[in-house]
Amino acid sequence: MKILMVLTSHDELGNTGRKTGFWLEELAAPYYVFKDAGVQITLASPKGGKPPIDPKSNEPANQTDQTRRFEADSNAMADLASTAVLKGIVHDTFDAVFYPGGHGPMWDLAEDTDSIALIESTIAAGKPVSLVCHAPGVLRHAKAADGTPLVKGKQVTGFTNGEEEGVGLTKVVPFLVEDELKAKGAIYSKGPDWQPYLREDGLLLTGQNPASSGPAAKALLAKLNKGK
């Protein structure tokens, strides 16, 4: 089984002068769900090479057993240091695609034509796409085969307005994930802030926040195994 994980290359948190990127737990937790199940993982990002880790995600309060395992894993760190360039990657060689979040994807992957095309072609090929936390926001421009928004009428979740307010970035981000998904016609729902919450609708699997990333990966694996 082969899974593509797509990470952001964006490291500027709006005009704040602060750094952002992907949220480490949202890579590390799914990475080991997949790795421990024998999945072959490919990491990719718009610019290739080493994508930026949101520095806040690596502060002691936000570290987890999985993030510590990842940083102590020379093979994992080597994978992260040499992500493939997203442009030119096609769904054909993968069974599923997984998008970790963090604030970075809201600036680059949400507008990236290669990412949009990858999502659309993966779904069209009958393969699942899973996105967690801020990453469901990258669905904003993706279309279904009939040209309507991919998320229209779909049960989805993603980082809540309350969670964004909780980190003080409501006025910094280019859009609010919850509001954007609703605006595109999605059937958006959420659980309590910061608690695991998942939605699965056909080939689309979404998780609300960092705590949802490991469970989302397990749900994706279960879906792939069920389809065998």
Mind listing the pLDDT tens digit for each residue in 78-126? 999 999 999 989 899 999 999 999 999 999 999 999 999 999 999 999 9
Question: Is residue 220 pLDDT above 80, yes or no?
Answer: yes
Residues 6+ apart with CB under 8 A from 156: 136, 139, 181, 186, 187, 188, 189, 199, 201, 204, 206
Number of domains in the chain: 1
Q: pTM for the full model?
A: 0.97
What's the pLDDT score for residue 43?
98
Pairing of strands 204-207, 198-201: antiparallel
For residue 206, give its domain range: 2-226
Q: How high is the pLDDT of residue 88?
A: 86
- Work out the average pLDDT over 129-149: 98
pLDDT band at 227; cut points 50, 70, 90? confident
Across the range 195-210, mean pLDDT stands at 98
> Rounded mean pLDDT of 47-70?
97
